[in-house]
């Protein structure tokens, strides 16, 4: 290239066209550090499937979030140390005397103890999904750290002695209703638990003898559940320890309570002939194929144990703290209806905590949800339908029983039945 050619390139729009996107990229990276290179790749992942694969709850993102748990936690701790360093000398002295600097050191140590469980999850993920090691690194951020911590807290909610009281409040109405079904019939009945989280309810239902499918979209949850189901990763009761509350200093009466250790699991779950995990979107679940066995119908003991035919679909769908997480609850309820066999039963227990900021397509009141369910075709049990009766259940969600704050939900329990025959006009 001659000097005049070079001068032409430098002065022309060609250079500008090449240089401008690069400059924008560098500036974006500088001003929005959480804007990761993987986001740029996502921008160019034109297929919707690709986009979903690398969404907030994807396998890849969950894997890298668990992998980077130690780094993300260390970053947060160093920001906390920096904040402390901005105190006046006098106040730093007080902080030192009351042991605040030691508390920050303790947080560092406790985080590395939590890393034992997190590393176990990462190791198992690599074993079960070996292609992950060839996946381009995703730079995770504080929101991902929050998702990791949330799934760790679910070990407490679902699988620890500490969580037993919280579980008892919400599982009891569901288990009581399902216990009405004749034990001999349960093995032939299919139960689906969408949005199962760490799967304890689904597993309890399988222990009653039902053919149970646990379904969960978020790989933050399912990688953690896989860690429990693995014969290699979890071998005995209380095999693992976590300090799940350590990172949130608010509402703590003492540091002993803040840093306390919780052991799990209180029972060891395993995959079995009647307990399976389906990872993915509930809305992608198809109507199960019919076995040859007859299935009884209904929600009460009499209904449930009556001789049935061979209808298609799930006999029960159990939603616990689930329907309000949907961005389109009407589609979700419709899908529950579709997946149930005629005469099948929907059991719901949960609040109505919609995703705000106009993300949820509709944000309904309880009355509206129940009216919509009726409109879709459900026959709802009333207040005097025995164990199927509607009731309000005061309960918590991953609560810390020692904390100075309690968040109590007045969750609603209801049972809806899909009619044997669709009423005409609907
Ligand atoms: C509030 S949590 C409740 C988890 C569990 N049922 C419990 O009570 O501990 C809602 C769960 O539903 C899952 N979820 C949300 N939308 C889903 C979908 N479309 N398909 C499957 N799971 C979904 C979330 O990932 C989350 O784990």
Q: What is the pLDDT of residues 82-95, one digit of tens each?
A: 999 999 999 999 99
For 97, residues 6+ apart whose C-beta sits below 8 A from its C-beta are none
Nearest-CA residue for atom 24 of ligand 1: 195
pLDDT tens figures, 357-388: 999 999 999 999 999 999 999 999 998 889 99
Calculate what percentage of the chain has a pLDDT beyond 70.
Answer: 81
Ligand 1 atom at shortest distance from the alpha carbon of 158: 9
Burial class (CB in 10 A: 0-12, 13-18, 19+), 292: exposed
**What's the 162 CA to ligand 1 centre distance in angstroms?**
21
The structure's pTM equals 0.84
Q: Which residues pair with 317 in a beta bridge?
A: 192, 346
* pLDDT, greater one: 179 or 302: 179
Residues with CB under 6 A from ligand 1: 57, 157, 194-197, 215-218, 221, 281-283, 320-322, 325-326
Pairwise CA distance, residues 87 & 80, whole Å: 12
CA 92 – CA 125 distance, rounded (Å) = 43
Q: How far is the CA of 63 from the centre of ligand 1 (A)?
A: 18
Give how far Cα 134 sits from Cα of 55, 119, 131, 154, 227, Å: 18, 18, 6, 29, 21
Tokens representing residue 131 in the block: 């292609």
Cβ–Cβ < 8 Å for 202, 214: yes
Nearest CA to ligand 1 atom 27: 197
What is the average pLDDT across 51-80?
90
- Report the alpha-carbon distance of residue 259 to residue 243 in Å, rounded: 6
Ligand 1 centre to CA of 199 (Å) is 10
Q: Which of the listed residues 322, 336, 395, 411 should we mutate to test ligand 1's pocket, taking the one with most ligand atoms within 8 A of CB?
A: 322
């Amino acid at each position: 290239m001659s000097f005049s050619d070079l001068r032409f390139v430098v002065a022309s729009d060609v250079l500008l066209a090449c240089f401008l996107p690069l400059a924008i990229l560098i500036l974006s990276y500088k001003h929005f550090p959480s804007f990761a290179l993987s986001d740029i790749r996502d921008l160019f992942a034109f297929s919707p499937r690709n986009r979903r694969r690398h969404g907030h709850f994807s396998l890849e993102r969950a894997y890298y979030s668990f992998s980077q748990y130690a780094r993300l936690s260390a970053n947060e701790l160093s920001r906390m140390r920096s904040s402390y360093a901005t105190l006046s000398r006098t106040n730093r002295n007080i902080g030192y005397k009351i042991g605040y600097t030691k508390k920050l050191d303790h947080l560092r140590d406790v985080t590395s103890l939590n890393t034992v469980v997190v590393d176990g999850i990462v190791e198992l993920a690599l074993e079960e999904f070996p292609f992950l090691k060839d996946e381009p690194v995703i730079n995770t951020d504080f929101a991902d750290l929050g998702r990791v911590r949330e799934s760790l807290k679910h070990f407490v909610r679902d699988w620890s002695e500490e969580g037993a009281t919280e579980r008892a409040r919400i599982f009891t109405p569901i288990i009581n209703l399902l216990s009405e079904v004749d034990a001999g019939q349960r093995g032939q009945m299919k139960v689906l638990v969408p949005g199962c989280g760490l799967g304890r309810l689904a597993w309890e239902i399988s222990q009653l003898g039902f053919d149970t499918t646990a379904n969960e979209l978020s790989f933050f949850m399912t990688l953690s559940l896989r860690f429990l189901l693995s014969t290699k990763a979890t071998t005995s009761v209380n095999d693992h320890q976590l300090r799940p509350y350590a990172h949130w200093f608010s509402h703590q009466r003492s540091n002993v309570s803040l840093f306390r250790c919780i052991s799990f699991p209180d029972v060891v779950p395993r995959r079995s002939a009647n307990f399976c995990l389906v990872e993915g979107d509930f809305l992608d679940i198809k109507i199960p194929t019919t076995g040859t066995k007859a299935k009884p119908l209904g929600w009460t003991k009499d209904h449930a144990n009556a001789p049935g035919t061979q209808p298609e679909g799930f006999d029960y769908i159990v939603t616990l703290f689930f329907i309000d997480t949907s961005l389109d609850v009407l589609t979700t309820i419709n899908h529950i209806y579709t997946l149930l066999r005629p005469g099948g039963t929907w059991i719901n227990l949960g609040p109505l905590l919609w995703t705000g900021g106009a993300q949820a397509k509709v944000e309904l009141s309880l009355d509206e949800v129940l009216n919509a369910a009726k409109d879709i075709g459900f026959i709802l049990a009333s207040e005097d339908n025995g164990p199927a009766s509607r009731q309000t259940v005061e309960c918590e969600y991953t609560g810390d029983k020692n904390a100075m704050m309690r968040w109590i939900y007045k969750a609603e329990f209801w049972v809806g039945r899909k009619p044997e025959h669709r009423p005409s006009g609907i």
